[in-house]
Amino acid sequence: MAKINLRPWREELRAEKQRDFVGLLAMTFIVAAGLAFAWLTKVESDVAYQNDRNAYIESATKDLDKKIKEIQELKKKREQLIARMKVIQNLQGKRPVIVRVFDELVRTLPDGLYYVNVSAKSDKLSIDGKAESNNRISALMRNLDQSDWFAEPNLSSVAADKKDQALNAFQLSVTQEAPKAEKEGAKK
């Protein structure tokens, strides 16, 4: 008898090709999933590394900001100390001047005249006093004008004293200045 092949070879071939296709598709899927996983892992690693770098930069920036604030505060304190030192130096330098001014006020005072009140605002002295006559007030003004420590005496008022009619009350102002020799010594 003749050999007849009744097997469904076409279906087997089709099933085999389908199995190969599904295997190849599964292998492609597995490889793609592996590559996607590797890529995502790399991206996450890069993002984490960049976040760490950003956090380090932010902490370093905060530290620098703190140091800048400290430096600014130290500069303010330094400026305040320098200002205080200048004030103290000015006061120390002017301390003997005040004594000399009072000494010069006494030296320029003629007989028959006395001071009631002496006040100072910056370099202006206001003098209230009483004198026996107007000539004594004129002598005081001449003495003040000739003094090295005073300039520009200006008489504000002269009136008979209300308590003692024999005396004249007066008010004058004078500018305080350093003697010429001291000015030249300060310039050198």
Kindly report, residue by residue over 64-95, the tens digit of the pLDDT: 999 999 999 999 999 999 999 998 888 787 67
Read off the pTM.
Answer: 0.48
In a domain, 157, yes or no: yes
- Asked if residues 133 and 165 have their Cβ atoms less than 8 Å apart, the reply is no
Residue 138 placed within a domain:
yes
Question: What is the DSSP track for 52-73?
Answer: HHHHHHHHHHHHHHHHHHHHHH
> Residue 143 gets which letter from DSSP?
H
Q: Could you tell me how many residues make up the chain?
A: 188
pLDDT computed for residue 180 by the predictor: 67
Rounded to whole angstroms, the Cα distance separating 104 from 178 reads 12
DSSP state of 5: -
Kindly state whether residue 172 falls inside one of the protein's structural domains.
yes
Residue pair 105/115 in contact (Cβ under 8 Å)? The answer is: yes
**Cα(136)–Cα(154) distance, rounded to whole angstroms?**
15
How high is the mean pLDDT of the chain?
86
CA 176 to CA 123: how far, in whole Å? 5
d(CA 7, CA 81): 110
Structural domain contains residue 121? yes
Q: What pLDDT is stored for residue 125 in this prediction?
A: 84
Query: Residues in the chain with pLDDT < 50?
Result: 183-184, 187-188
Count of structural domains, the chain? 1
Q: Tell me whether residue 127 is in a domain.
A: yes
Residue 173 structural domain: 108-180
Tokens of 42: 């790399």
Note whether residue 6 is domain-resident.
Answer: no
The alpha-helical segments, DSSP class H, found in 108-171 are: 134-146
| Cα–Cα distance measured from residue 8 to residue 15, given in angstroms and rounded to the nearest whole number | 11
Dihedrals phi, psi of 154, to nearest 5 degrees: -135, 115
Q: Is residue 17 part of a domain?
A: no
Phi and psi of 149, rounded to 5°? Answer: -95, -10
Question: For the domain that residue 119 is a member of, what is the CATH number?
Answer: 3.30.70.2830
Distance, CA of 128 to CA of 167 (rounded, Å): 13
What is the rounded CA–CA span in Å between residue 114 and residue 85?
A: 38
